[in-house]
Structure 1
Amino acid sequence: MLTLVGPYVNGTAVAVGGLAGAFLGTKLPERLRVALPQTFGLASMALGVSMIVKVKYLPAVVLALIVGAIIGELILLEGKIGRLGTRTKGVVERVFPPQGDLSHEEFIEKFVAILVLFCASGTGIFGAMNEGMTGDPQILLVKSILDFFTSGIFATALGYAVAAICMPQLAIQLVLAFTAGWILPMTTPAMMADFSAVGGIIMLATGFRICGIKPFPVANLLPALVLAMPFSHLWSLVV
């Protein structure tokens, strides 16, 4: 029976980091609470670029992004995730006092961005699949260190709701890890490269959003991750 470590460590890191950051709150200097999220945004963009350069079939990647964005917009995916964030905040604030001075719109803007960053990053998705296939948790363990500090800093502004992100993150990684046994054997290096490239573009857009440069609707791009491998395979057959 498959024994997993990475998803649980990663989920715990987000939970503990979020709780610690929310507890510290305004005790951290303002300049630190403002500067570090910008740094995390830049790190997200840098990681995204490093993933994009692995692309094998760029037309397939672009097509997956366009079709994925259309699907996301039609089903109002970002709006639904935003409402989930609002409900999460409401439930958490029944137990813990409200944190930070963000407006409702600012809270949703940042919450959706970090939800995508934690739950839909290429590193997390590939790390979960890799552990499910090989039993090696190293990728997720490295991600856990980054997520601990990231969740802590964002929680100083968004409050205890950040810690709740560990639940969908853990669920997604467990599903990916347990299904990787039959997913990965059907993939090719080109399909994995194009999947990584789509994830990289979404992480690049997430970084722009976290830094306040451009509020890309990153959640509406998530269906592109599902389409990336099939489109890459079909493109390789056509070309």
Structure 2
Amino acid sequence: MPTGIIINALSVVFGGIFGTLGGRYLSEDFKDQLNMIFGAASMTMAIIAIAPTKDMPVVIFAVIIGTAIGLVLHLGEWINRAGQAMQHFIRRFINVQAGMSETDFNATLLTIIVLFTASGTGIYGSLVNGMTGDPTILISKSILDFFTAAIFAANLGYVVSLIAVPQFIIFMVLYVFAQYIYPLTTPAMIIDFKAVGGILMLATGFRMIKVKMFPTGDMIPAMIISMPLTWLWVSVIQPLIAH
């Protein structure tokens, strides 16, 4: 049973509702300061994910090539358009929180879509939940997601809760196909995969604290190509270097 995926999706739903209803009672300074803490938390998770890797050339190469692929495909723009479509759809039924410019709204929405649906922790946790039935990783992620959703919903409104729908679909697809994916991996592949996801979370942290708006949407393909690159590095390149 996809226990972790269900809990993670519900944490976003209820976090979004809680933040929308309670956001009016929070000062802008409080929300800004707490958002800084969530950015730091994202960076902390990123550092923990990156630290175990022993194949740093693979991780860096995957991030560069994967981001280049995303930029060529304009993946970030497609995600942004999906976010805009989501925004327009939700406005047909409920009122979205006012007080933000259209540009800031779309930029913030893109950040949390990537944060909730495309983080290395979420994808890896879904694979582990599918293969072993262990929901621990996703439950841990759910704690952060609940409060993150609440803070963002204080500005964006109920649209944050709706992000649980694509998150649930993406994670369930990974859950279903995990039995085919996971047996093909090695411990090195998993470690490098998490490291690449960690870099994505690090970039997301910078977006959250508004230091630099990294193209996190375009960076998603880096996680996809990290595993085959790790296999190529371990099986082909390292033996050649050793000789």
Q: Report the TM-score when normalising by structure 1.
A: 0.96
Local SS of the residue matching 1:175: helix
* Alignment partner of 1:110 is 2:75: no
Aligned counterpart, 1:142: 140
Q: Aligned Cα RMSD in Å?
A: 1.1
Residue 25 of structure 1: how far off its partner (Å): 2.6
Residue correspondences, number: 237
Q: Which amino acid aligns with 1:117?
A: L
Aligned counterpart, 1:91: 89
What is the correspondence of 1:186-225 to structure 2 with a 5 Å cutoff?
Answer: 186-225=184-223
Q: Report the TM-score when normalising by structure 2.
A: 0.94
Runs (4+) of structure 1 exceeding 6 A deviation are none
Aligned counterpart, 2:241: none
Unaligned runs of 5+ in 1: none
Residue 148 of structure 1: how far off its partner (Å): 1.0
Note the alpha carbon deviations across 1:82-124, whole angstroms, 9 max, x for none.
1111111111111111303111111111111111111111221
Note the alpha carbon deviations across 1:167-196, whole angstroms, 9 max, x for none.
111011111111111211111111111101
Q: Which amino acid aligns with 1:43?
A: A
Aligned counterpart, 2:159: 161
Pick from 51, 62, 65: which aligns with 1:64?
62
Note the alpha carbon deviations across 1:134-171, whole angstroms, 9 max, x for none.
11112212211221111011000111111111011101
Q: Which amino acid aligns with 2:24?
A: T
Question: Hey, what's the Cα distance between the residues in 1 that align with 2:54 and 2:168?
Answer: 30
Q: Is the 8 A contact 1:11 1:170 kept in 2?
A: yes
Question: Hey, what's the Cα distance between the residues in 1 that align with 2:155 and 2:86?
Answer: 15
Q: Is the 8 A contact 2:90 2:159 kept in 1?
A: yes
What is the correspondence of 1:26-41 to structure 2 with a 5 Å cutoff?
Answer: 26-41=24-39
Question: Hey, what's the Cα distance between the residues in 1 that align with 2:109 and 2:195?
Answer: 24
Q: Is the 8 A contact 1:192 1:229 kept in 2?
A: yes
Q: Which amino acid aligns with 1:138?
A: T
